[in-house]
Amino acid sequence: MLTHLVVWKYRADVSESTREEHRAQLRSLTNIVPGIESLSVGSDTLHSPRSYDTGLVAIFRDRSVLDAYSIHPDHVKVVEFGNTILETMAKVDFED
């Protein structure tokens, strides 16, 4: 199993409705390729100074599923949209 964690901090001028649209687009990726065991998206509830705004946790069967997910056209569209509204993004992928 491979765990894929991504967090986004949006620019201050990005509206809440645009942030929700990004989260909805991320959630729509749940089953785009076989082998996605789970995919969860949520918004930060603590709002601490070090918090990011949105987080995604996905579990993939193996690296080949992550590779297929990464280049899937639906995923690429969401990445492109996210890039237009983010201040910064961080991610980590690790095997369980």
Q: What is the pLDDT of residues 27-67, one digit of tens each?
A: 999 999 999 999 999 999 999 999 999 999 999 999 999 99
Specify the residue for token string 């967090």.
7
Count of other CB atoms within 10 angstroms of residue 41: 19
pLDDT at 96: 84
pLDDT at 93: 98
> How far, in whole angstroms, is CA 67 from its chain's centroid?
15
- Section 72-96 average pLDDT: 97
